[in-house]
Amino acid sequence: MNDVEMEKVIRRAIEEDIGSGDITTDNIIEEHNNGIGVVVAKEEAVVAGLKVAEKVFDEIDSELKFERKKDDGDVVKRGDVAATVTGEIRSILKAERLALNFLQRMSGIATKTRRYVEEVQGYDVRIVDTRKTTPTLRALEKWSVRIGGGHNHRMGLYDAVLIKDNHIESAGSIGEAVERVKGKIPHTAKIEVEVESIDDMKEALNSGVDVIMLDNMSLEDMKRSVDILEEEDEDDVMIEASGGITLKNVQRVAETGVDVISVGALTHQIGSVDIGLDLEF
């Protein structure tokens, strides 16, 4: 996510929450009243979003001083201090909920990602996200996946080709679909095809694609696909497993030897991590 976009998202969020004014804080807390806000983990998690939180406080009041005690990607335990913010209590209170909303969601994604990554430790495989992200916040969510140790799939419809069943049906065959796209896209873009059978997998391989996504295949067929790749000596082609991957089966999927496992749940089942802000006067 570029900084211009991050600033825009944060400023929109401030307008959303504060609107015509914080009628509680502005009328109760006096000016020039300083304090320290302590950002504390209330449960174990991979912390993510500290840079965003820092920017939230800065946009609300550029006089606030934010100090990171942890870095994005660090594991925090219940009670650990992730950061402190010092300055006007008014400003800290206005920014609190927004900063936490970013932190909790981003940490939620990073923490879940970390679990998947740990589950496949030792295997030469990467856990990746999908396009099933919250509309307008994809960059933040894909950043959280990276913080959690995962990798990103393509960012959108623009940076890589992913040929799915409807494209294939419309073109007539996998080969024809690949053919149509090959001569048009930037030579710097890869082509991935989603297949549902071994036969299709072979056809994709022969069409010269870069990545083959095995959609909802059995573990046996995954293994078989990996074997075919080896037999054909196509070590430049990557195999991606997709569909129905959970924490329970991800290791078995990794065992099949696939290169990439994509997990929609990383971003479409967001469990906010409990992180709070304690104010010291």
Please report how close the Cβ of residue 97 comes to a second copy at its closest, in angstroms: 5
Residues 77-136 that bind a second copy (CB under 8 A): 89, 93-94, 97-98, 101-102, 104-105, 126, 128, 131-136
Residue 164: active-site member: yes
Q: Tell me if 156 contacts a second copy by CB under 8 A.
A: yes
Residue 132: active-site member: yes
CA dist 9 and 13 (Å) reads 6
**Residue 220: Cβ-neighbour burial (10 angstroms; 0-12, 13-18, 19+):** exposed
Residues 22-51 that bind a second copy (CB under 8 A): 22-25, 27-30, 33
| N-terminal to C-terminal alpha carbon distance within the chain | 35
Q: Tell me if 189 contacts a second copy by CB under 8 A.
A: yes
Residue 69: active-site member: no
CA dist 165 and 156 (Å) reads 18
Tokens 């870095």 — which residue?
Answer: 71
User: Out of 17, 97, 159, 165, which one is annotated catalytic?
Assistant: 97
CA dist 111 and 118 (Å) reads 11
Please report how close the Cβ of residue 3 comes to a second copy at its closest, in angstroms: 8
CA dist 275 and 261 (Å) reads 29
Give, in order, the Cα–Cα distances in Å from 35 to each of 31, 39, 92, 245.
Answer: 12, 13, 8, 46
Stretch that binds a second copy, among 38-46, 63-71, 187-195, 245-253 (CB under 8 A): 187-195
Q: Which of 107, 148, 167, 195 binds a second copy (CB under 8 A)?
A: 167
Q: Which of 122, 166, 231, 248 binds a second copy (CB under 8 A)?
A: 166
Annotated catalytic residues are 97, 132, 164, 194, 215
